[in-house]
Structure 1
């Protein structure tokens, strides 16, 4: 078989074709969204009980600020999360694509779908996907629906990578050409 992957799906594409694509790519996307815990809802609930000197929503409700990470770690994280370490909480926010901004000594986190007073938007937030290598046995034992699902996951993962690449390119461009205010 030619090592170059040439796939053009059409109405005749079947599970064997999809399995061959997955086999050639040798990757599988693991979906972290199957977690029984809803981390975003836990963050939302934690912000409702945290006193303002520890953590609070910003005035416009589009972000939250952590003013006392040590107190958050000691008192509030253990109530809402398996890991009570602030560094783990920070990594978790990063995995959900929250943006961090340092405001003085405080840390501000924002996400377009994490807005105070709009908890229904939380379900629009998804974790980043991880990729792992597939071995030949796991590919051959896939049902056609599993193969289709895996292919859809791979395509979705590629879209995320493309979006990340565009975001990185834009960031690099802003660094290369900073805007100077008079």
Structure 2
């Protein structure tokens, strides 16, 4: 008696991709972290743009560590290659965008302990070299900032010294003015100069008045005899009228100048 046993479906015995590959694919596929890690332009590799942030944020979500070097070593054991020396870009012929079913073809390579140690040392050596370059760059930047700080400190000291000298000069000028103002001789000298100015103006006014009287008298003396009649008398009277107007204008100007001088002296004495 023959029994028709069911035949297992083809492919049931095939094993799926490992957890590491699945989790790595999910991390790269997540569009919310494209600024940290994403597919390349050709979709046949992925790029870790920010290794530090990738280790702090992305790795702890799927793995039990945040060691980027350990993640890179795992990629190497699955045949991933770093294809760009300037950035962290990795590729595998079966790790393609939209081709998740190809992950099962990626097999873990069996490497000896010596090969593993060599790869580890190589990665650590590159990291150490990068850290050394970063350290040199930081030292140079610190030296530049130190020199800039010294320059600013010197400039500040110079400005403080100039300010101090200016304040000393101002104090000396104020002391000098206070000493001069508080001396009785100083105020007495100002009063004398004021009185002398008034006296000089009065004398000048008297001289101008006297000269005018003399000119008027000479005008009458120089007049012609009666043979010229009333015409000369009228002309003489007109000249006298013009000169009188000029005298009045000159006197008014002198008087205004005198009053202005008086006001200036009073203002000067008040301020003192």
Q: Given the two structures, how large is their TM-score scaled by the length of structure 1?
A: 0.49
Structure with higher helix content = 2
Structure with higher strand content = 1
Structure possessing the higher radius of gyration over alpha carbons: 2
Q: Given the two structures, how large is their TM-score scaled by the length of structure 2?
A: 0.33
